[in-house]
Amino acid sequence: MHSLIAIQQQLLPDLLVVMRKRYLILRQVMLSDMIGRRSLAASLEMTERVLRAETDFLKSQELLIIDAAGMRISEAGKRLLDEMEPFYKAMFGLSELEEKIRKHFGLKQVVIVSGDSDESPATGRELGRAGCSVLRKDMKANDVIAVTGGSTLAQVANQLTSQTPLRSNLFVPARGGLGESLDYQANTIASTMAKRTGAQYRMLHVPDHLGEEAYNSLMQEPNVREIVEVIREARIVVHGIGDAMVMARRRRVDAAVVEAMKAEGALAESFGYYFDRHGEVVHKMLTAGLRLEDIMETEVVIAIAGGRSKGEAIAAVMRFGHDDVLVTDEAAALEIAAIIEKESQ
Amino acid sequence: MHSLIAIQQQLLPDLLVVMRKRYLILRQVMLSDMIGRRSLAASLEMTERVLRAETDFLKSQELLIIDAAGMRISEAGKRLLDEMEPFYKAMFGLSELEEKIRKHFGLKQVVIVSGDSDESPATGRELGRAGCSVLRKDMKANDVIAVTGGSTLAQVANQLTSQTPLRSNLFVPARGGLGESLDYQANTIASTMAKRTGAQYRMLHVPDHLGEEAYNSLMQEPNVREIVEVIREARIVVHGIGDAMVMARRRRVDAAVVEAMKAEGALAESFGYYFDRHGEVVHKMLTAGLRLEDIMETEVVIAIAGGRSKGEAIAAVMRFGHDDVLVTDEAAALEIAAIIEKESQ
DNA sequence: TCAACGTGGACATAAAACGTCCCATATGAT
DNA sequence: ATCATATGGGACGTTTTATGTCCACGTTGA
């Protein structure tokens, strides 16, 4: 059974979307006994016209009885709902989760791949693949795309492709060097993405965290200044999310600073900033890359991160509230959902 | 698993059609090793443009590899075909059958509902329902529709509906009275259909088989003559198919005639005529209703019949070669397929 | 080298989906 | 009995998508 669904996902990705839509309509009609088109459209958050197309179809299948008084479910419709119940969770559990998380954080889109990146590398790859689709869909001609580092972003970079060379696009690192391994550097990832898609890329050869003096003098350099300006005007930002302490350690942040951040409740790290559980930024620092105020004005901010252990961190960054799209995996999503659940009580 | 397929067939029949299309493309590509768009389109009997849309999609799913040299299937594509195999028959077995029968008899359309009308009344009703859809789709304003009698046609009549009254349509019996029970008379069925759809109807109160003298004198009657002329110009004919001997007995055909027909190999009966296995008409008779030459010129001829026992008869009438659409059930279709198979050897 | 066959781009046009408004009508409260 | 309200369905202009048709250009194999 499960394998059939997997096949259909590949061969007809929107099959499940349509199926869910029709299922939800049918269910809503059943719960409402008798209901009119307009109020049904409102309660399902659909426009009247597309709902109408669907109800017309359901009527033609005799799953819905629809007359001048309104519509109600037929016997065959009830039977179908019953028979479908056992499949529902397997088929649409993730969609439900997506919708829940999307709504709670006010995101434009949430994509969840099944599995746990912590446990299985395959899930990590899936995550990368999903990130690619999202990115591809959001990219337009002449876009500048800023990307951060990290293993997840590296997965995205290694799977990104494009049918035709995207000569007009420009990939840039969101931040300067952060003392990570070369493969996971933002610079590396930006260049990989550009090479794989036939796009342009520019590097930012500057350490990320800078003292005021160094910052000022670097920004005097015309070539640094120019690329920094390009970065700060990126239309799309793609970033990973990490655990604050893990990242701090990996980046050899000063022990005293680490302690300070810990004291302030630092939980998550993303595009060089550290966030506490409420999405507040802990420890603002001068940077040559994207600053918070740039992020806030970026048109499309895409977060990509997965693994059960990252659930909390992801939730923290989402609470920061300037992301538009979240791509994650099932394990992390379940953690996030649990956090939402807990605090809504 | 099987029940999921049943659900999907109700909830998204149109998407399953797409799924099959993509599967067949993928399979054809695999069988061809490497093939170009045009020749593939030809072998699948699709236009080049729609095939292209599909192959573009399959490429985006990475199921197909497509470069300047042509296209071939990817590893993922092969895997998908393998995994899909066990589901294929359950999902599209009937579509395959439909296509096979359609091609063999050169029909415009074949519709098969699952089950065996001989065994289950529910299948009979399904058959009627399917007949309704076909008829509805083929009907246009101002059409005259001639219908025959029989229990299957009665099923159609009892389920035919129309959203809006079809005031411009006219239902007429294809033939005169044939000595069957009232419910199954063509007259009854025509009037039922008309009443249920808000259409017009006309009756033909004349015995079907007539001697030459009676025929001539009846045709002198202006009102008989008029309706007969209308019948003979029907744009659509809907007819059932029966076993020759069963029908002959039910209609109390003269024993000597029955013997004669038997000797000539009469196998099937339809719209008052008897056919042998080759679709040749046995025993032409004068009739006030539709004659063979009328049928041959009718724009849309729809045959509706099911049940394993009728498979042979249906095949015989199809061989007659003037039907456009066949609506039948699985059991009959399997019989028909077996007959096709047997003689193609 | 050349001919045949391949893909992919381009574009006009047909067809479908969609948003929006309106109307006759059924329903239920008054 | 009547009236306000909500209903389905028709209509229609607009936008989006699908489709037919050509053509440019690259690859391949003779």
pLDDT tens digits, chain B, 345 residues: what are they? 688 999 999 999 999 999 999 999 999 999 988 999 999 999 999 999 999 999 999 999 989 999 888 899 999 999 999 999 999 998 999 999 999 999 999 999 999 999 999 999 999 999 999 999 899 888 888 889 999 989 999 999 998 887 777 888 899 999 887 666 788 889 999 999 998 888 889 998 888 777 788 888 888 889 889 999 999 999 999 999 999 998 888 887 888 888 999 999 999 999 889 999 999 999 777 888 898 999 999 999 999 999 999 999 999 999 999 999 999 999 999 999 999 999 877
- CA torsion B326-B327-B330-B333 (nearest 10°) is -10
Inter-chain touch A4–B7, beta carbons under 8 Å: no
pLDDT digits (tens, 9 = 90+) for A114-146: 999 999 999 999 999 899 988 988 888 888 999
Amino acid at A103: K
What percent of chain A clears pLDDT 90, i.e. is strictly above it?
Answer: 60
Report yes or no on whether pTM surpasses 0.85. Answer: no
Mean pLDDT of chain A: 90
Report the run of H or E that residue B334 belongs to, with start and end.
helix B330-344
Show which positions of strand C are touched by protein (CB under 7 A). 5-9, 17-21, 25-27
* pLDDT at residue A75 is higher than 70: yes
* pLDDT at residue A210 is higher than 80: no
Asked whether the CA dihedral B55, B60, B64, B67 is positive or negative, the reply is positive
Chain B contact set for A12 (CB, 8 A): 15, 18-19, 22
In angstroms and rounded to an integer, the radius of gyration of the C-alpha atoms of chain B is 23
Give the minimum alpha-carbon distance from B20 to chain A in angstroms, rounded to a whole number: 9
The closest nt to A67, taking CA to C1', is: D8
* Cα(A118)–Cα(A101) distance, integer angstroms: 20
On whether the CB atoms of residues A288 and A218 are closer than 8 A, the answer is yes
pLDDT digits (tens, 9 = 90+) for A17-27: 999 999 999 99
**Cross-strand bridge partners of residue B201:** B171
Inter-chain touch B19–A23, beta carbons under 8 Å: no
Beta strand ranges found along chain B (DSSP E): 64-67, 70-73, 109-113, 144-147, 170-173, 200-201, 236-239, 242-243, 268-270, 273-275, 281-282, 300-304, 325-329
A1 touches chain B (CB under 8 A): yes
* Interatomic CA–C1' length for residue A141 and nucleotide D4, angstroms: 54
* Cα(A217)–Cα(A229) distance, integer angstroms: 15
* Cα(A226)–Cα(A339) distance, integer angstroms: 42
Instruction: For nucleic chain C, give residues with Cβ below 7 angstroms from it.
Output: A 47-50, 53, 68-69, 163-164; B 35-39, 52, 56, 59, 66-71
Amino acid at A125: R
Give the minimum alpha-carbon distance from A268 to chain B in angstroms, rounded to a whole number: 34
* Cα(B181)–Cα(B201) distance, integer angstroms: 20
On whether the CB atoms of residues A282 and A238 are closer than 8 A, the answer is no
| Of B93 and A252, the one with more pLDDT | B93
A215 touches chain B (CB under 8 A): no
